[in-house]
Chain A
Amino acid sequence: MRSRINYAQYGDEDLARLLVLGETGALEEISARHAGASYGLALHMLRDPGWAEEVVQDVLLRLWRKPDMFDPARGDLHRWLLRITHNAAIDALRSRRGTSRALEIGAYELDTLPWDGQDPFEGAWEHSRAERVRRALAELPSEQREVVELAYYRGMSQSEIAALTGQPLSTVKTRTRLAFKKLRSALEDEL
């Protein structure tokens, strides 16, 4: 009688390789390790548990069907899944809003830029870094926090934010830059 492989023994990179072989156990292990964070991000963006679950499952099924999408040379699986989840949630938001601009350009094209192989994080995600940025985001002046949240978590362009808030585009850009400066310094303080 066949016994199941213990997939917990494998690292993420090996699990991704096993997806190529169609091993559902590898997908279950990936889900157990990483889907919670992806779900948290999708829920934060979509504010609907059912919708968030659907988006995250779609992301994992895309990985299942096309495991070669993930290239371990360009970063770890956890962060990659989060980036894809973010893109998928933005697509879902825009689809519901009826806007057609392809949002994936923002994140995908960043990943196709020249890459020197150096990973600023050099390894596993550290919870404290995310916590520090969350705290810095919460402490931003409201008008700066607003532009970051509308852009990153609601998928709005700076022009759309300007129209929504009634501010000039230049003001939106300035607020974004100021917000980023503070968020970045929060991250660098810890590095």
Chain B
Amino acid sequence: MNCEQAREEMPGLVLGALDSDQRGLVLEHLRGCEACARELRSLLPLRDALNHPDPSPRLPNGFTERLVGRIGPAGHRPRRRASEVLVHASRALAAAAVLLIALLGVGLHRTSSELARQVAYDARMSALMSRSDVVPVDMRGYRRGARGRLYVSPDRREGVLMLGGLPGLPDGKTYQLWLVSREGAKSVGTFTPLPGGSARLYLRPPHGLDAYERIDITIEPDGGSPRPTGKWVLAGRLT
């Protein structure tokens, strides 16, 4: 098929109306012809326009409630059992180190150069991680290789966040941790991972972790931001 033949078939292709053999020929030509592929792309806004046949569409009453009703409990992702978690946690603990470089905002544990305080944090983390009923919350990574898991105490008052795969950032940038509720995102603090990309953070918000719906990590300017402005690196649900 040459360019002229391919372009004659493009309206039918955009409408999805070509028979399969003809469609295959056109697509084969398009994959090898950037000029015709560009011509086809120029037609796509027309397809998008055809997707608005009704000037003022209205949803039926109760649509969204019925939609959410169809999700049901199956919509929630299963959590790992604590026994599985502890194996992973102990490996992670051996590899990670605490890094809390600066803290902002909500009065959680503040960075300290005091060794005694650091040791106390470590002790609390170790105590929490040694419990069999700790609840893990996996975080979703938005950057290749980034991973995180928050281990929450059964009373949901405290947690240990284990992070890995965080690349070093250029000068002027830092990682920032947020707890998110309806009122918005509250900064927990900024931190710098170890050279290997791991970090371990201890959280004990004044009103417990149940006061929040989500935990996020973003990349922000050095010193942190009052609200998230940069790209997400990791996020996890606290519900």
Contact = CB atoms under 8 A, between A and B. Distances in A.
Contacts of A11: none
Given A31-B64, A158-B17, A20 B53 contact: no
Contacts of B4: none
B170 interface: no
Contacts of B49: 129-130, 132-134, 183, 187
A137 B235 CA distance: 46
Nearest to A156: B17
Contacts of A153: 53
A20 B77 CA distance: 10
Interface stretch (B29-37, B91-99, B113-121, B123-131): B29-37
B57 interface: yes
Given A3-B181, A24-B71, A31 B16 contact: no
Contacts of A148: 15, 50
Contact of A120 (B42, B63, B66): B42
Contacts of A131: 55
B231 to A, nearest CB: 11
Contacts of B60: 39, 49, 53
Interface residues of A, number: 81
Contacts of B27: 109, 113
B54 A27 contact: no
A173 B18 CA distance: 10
Contacts, number: 215
Sorting the interface of chain B by its residue count into under 10, 10 to 19, 20 to 34 or 35 or more gives 35 or more
22 contacts: A2-B239, A6-B184, A18-B214, A20-B140, A21-B235, A21-B237, A22-B77, A23-B214, A24-B71, A31-B63, A31-B67, A37-B54, A40-B54, A40-B58, A103-B16, A105-B16, A107-B47, A113-B27, A114-B31, A114-B37, A151-B17, A184-B43
Interface of A: 2-6, 9, 14, 17-18, 20-24, 27-28, 31-32, 35-37, 39-41, 43-44, 49, 53, 56-57, 60-61, 64-65, 79, 82-83, 85-86, 90, 101, 103, 105-107, 109-110, 113-116, 118, 120-121, 125, 127, 129-134, 137, 148, 151-153, 155-159, 161, 173, 176-177, 179-180, 183-184, 187
Interface of B: 8-20, 23, 27, 30-31, 34, 37-38, 40-60, 63-64, 66-68, 70-71, 75-77, 140, 142, 180-184, 210-214, 232, 235-237, 239
